[in-house]
Chain A
C-alpha cells in the first residue's frame, strides 16, 4: 500500500458514504425515479454513474449517497419497489472493487517539473492535451487515489475538473458475496 492509499477521505468528503449498485431496465425516466427516492428524503447523492451493461436492455447505476442522517434500508427497499429496478445491492467496501476516472485541466506546461513529479506516483496518469499554458491530465484509479491526485494538482493550479463518480462491482475473490435482493 502506498502512502497515498492510506488517505481515507478528504475533509470535504462526507464520512458516511454508501455505495449502491442498481440494475435497471433501460427505460426513459428510470433515472428520475431512482434519484427521486433520494431527493424526497433530503439525501444528497454524492456521485452517480450510469451506463448500459452487457445486456443493452439493462443499465447499471452506481450511486454513492451520503446517508448519515437516516438509515439506508428504507431507500434500499423502496428502490426494489420501482417497477423498472431489477436488483439493488449495497456494496461492502471491503468486498468490492471501485474505480473512478478524473480529468484535470492544470495550468502548467507538460514539462513543468512540479507536474512531472506529481504524476510520478500515479501509474497510468496521462497527459491528453497541451496548449495555451495548460495540460489536461487523465487518471483512473481507486477513488481515494483520484482524490490524492486532485489535491496534488491543486498545488499547481487546476482550472477545471470532471470526475466520473465511482463505479463499482462486487469482488470476485471473496465467496461471501452479498446476495441480490429483488
Chain B
C-alpha cells in the first residue's frame, strides 16, 4: 500500500501498540499531526514540552508500557532535553518523536533548526535521524524495541519535515511492518550465568549479616514477585532505594525501608554493618553509598544487573551477574529451594535482633506539633497516606517534600511511587502524575509537590483540567527552596542565600483555580484531614491543596555532605550520644560535619551536589 511518511509514522505507532501520546505541535511536525486526527491514538495536548516528556515518564512508571511524546523541531526538541536525561538516568522506556527541518535544509540554520540528534546523543539510549520515508516503520519498530528491552531508556526519532509532507514526492513510500529487528550490536544478556548464580547462592547461604539492596531495576524488570519470594525463601531483610519504594510492601516484616542520605537509621545501618549485600537492579548511587570509601566496609557484594557497565562501576562485586533480574531471581530462587530453602540458611538470629533493636530505638520521627505551632509536613503526609486508598499512586517533586513523601508513605504495591531519582528534576511531579493518571485512570493519583517545584511546571494543571485527567496535588508550601535552605542552615552557617520564596506570592489557590482546579488552603492540623477527604471525593477535575507548612522543618535522618553513612544524623530528639550509636551527638543544630571534614574532606563537601 502506497502512503506518505506521516501516515506511515502514525500507523507505525499504532502497530507498536501506542494508544496515548503527549505532545505539542509546531511547524516541522505539522504533517504528522494531520493523520493523527483519524488515528485511534489519544493525544494529550501539553502546555510545555517538558511536561510532555515527564508525562510520558509517569505513564511508563505506572503502566510498565513505553511512554510516547511528539514535539516539534528546535525549541520543542530542546524543551525535551531535561525529560530525556531524566528518563535516561532512571531507565524509563520512552520514545520521543521530534520534527526536523527538511532534510535538504539541515545544517543551514533554517528556522527552528536544532541539531537534535547531536544535542540528545548523550541523554538517550539511542537516537535516529530518519532520512528516507521508507525507513520510518523500521526505525519506529527498532525505537520501541530498544526503549523497552534490556536496560530500558529513552529513544529519540528525529523526522525531517519533507519525508512526512504528503506534498513532497520524497514522502511517498510503500507500507510495511517489519516482523523482527536486525540490530547485531544490541543483544542484551537476559539469563544469568548459572555458575555465578550458584556462587551467589553459596555466599547467600553462609552470610551472617546479609541485606538485599533492592533497586529500581526490579521495577523495570517487573520482578516484584520474584523479589518477594527470594526474600521469603532466605529470610533476608530488604532495603528499598528511592527508585524501588514499593517493590516489596513497606509493611512486610522484612522490609527495612529506604537507605541513603535521607534513609532511616535501620536501613542505612544494616547496609553499613552487612557482611553481604545482594544488589538487585541497583547502581550504588552516591546518594545511597555516602562517602564511598566508608560504605559497607565489611560487605561482600553480589550484584545483579542487566547492564554490564553497572557491574564494578562503583564497587567491585564479588559475584557479578549480568542478566534480567527477573530471570536471575527465578534461578536464584530455584537454587535456594533445591539447597533446602530457609532451613539451609545460616543462623541469623543475632542479626535479626540487632536490626529490630535499631528499629525500636530509631524509628522515623519528628517533633510533634505544639498547639498553635506551624503545620508539620510529616503530619500532612501521614494523614494523606492514612486517608487515601492503599493503591494510591504518589508522584513527587524534588526537595524536602520528596524525602518526606518517600519516608512517611507506606507503599503497599509496586509501581505506586513515581519520582525523579537520578536527575532530581524539580517540576517532575505534576506532569508525571498526569501521565500516571492518564495510564491508570481508575487509580487515585496524588502529586506531592513543593512550592519551588510547583512554580516550574504548574501550567500542566491546565492540561489536566482540559483533558479531564483529575490528578490531585498536595502542595507543601514552606515558602522556601526548602532542601537548599536546609543545606545552608546546616553546612553554610545559616547564611541563607536566595532560597526564600514568599508563601503568599503567588497566591497558589487563585492560580490553581484559574487553571481549572478545585483549590483548598490548609493552615492548621485540624483542617488537614477534612481537606484531604474532600479532595479524595472529587473526581471530575484536578484538585490542589495548599498546605502551609513549617518553613524551617528539616529532613532527618541525614548523612551530612561528604560524610560516610556511619555518620548518619538522626532526628534531634533521638540524639543523646551516650549509647554507642553512630549518630553524631555533638551537633545541636545538625551541623555535624566535624568528623567528615577533619580528614580533609572539604573537597568532598564541595563536590556534593544538591
Interface of A toward B, CB cutoff 8 Å: 24-25, 28-29, 32-33, 36, 40, 73-74, 77-78, 80-86, 182
Contact = CB atoms under 8 A, between A and B. Distances in A.
B195 interface: no
Given A29-B129, A32-B121, A36-B122, A83 B309 contact: no
B199 to A, nearest CB: 20
A92 B549 CA distance: 62
B121 A83 contact: no
20 contacts: A25-B184, A29-B121, A32-B118, A33-B121, A36-B122, A40-B122, A73-B312, A74-B309, A74-B313, A77-B309, A80-B308, A81-B309, A82-B185, A83-B125, A83-B183, A83-B186, A84-B185, A85-B185, A86-B185, A182-B185
Contacts of B413: none
B193 to A, nearest CB: 14
A105 B187 CA distance: 48
Nearest to A40: B122
A interface SS class: mixed
Contacts of A83: 125-126, 146, 183, 185-186
Contacts of B129: 28-29
B307 interface: yes
Contacts of B186: 83
A81 B153 CA distance: 12
Contact of A24 (B121, B183, B185, B307): B185
Nearest to B184: A86
A119 to B, nearest CB: 44
A86 B307 CA distance: 16
Interface residues of B, number: 18
Contacts of B185: 24-25, 82-86, 182
Contacts of B184: 25, 86
B82 interface: no
7 nearest CB pairs, A to B: A77-B309, A83-B126, A86-B185, A83-B186, A85-B185, A78-B309, A84-B185
Given A32-B118, A84-B185, 5 more contacts: A73-B312, A74-B313, A77-B309, A80-B308, A80-B309
Most A CB atoms within 10 A — which of B121, B184, B307?
A: B184
A148 B265 CA distance: 63
B536 interface: no
A36 B309 contact: no
A86 B122 CA distance: 19
B117 interface: yes
A97 B125 CA distance: 34
Contacts of A86: 184-185
A77 B307 CA distance: 9
Most A CB atoms within 10 A — which of B125, B186, B308, B312?
A: B186
A13 B313 CA distance: 29
Contacts of A24: 185
A182 B187 contact: yes
Contacts of A77: 308-309
Interface in B106-147: 117-118, 121-122, 125-126, 129, 146
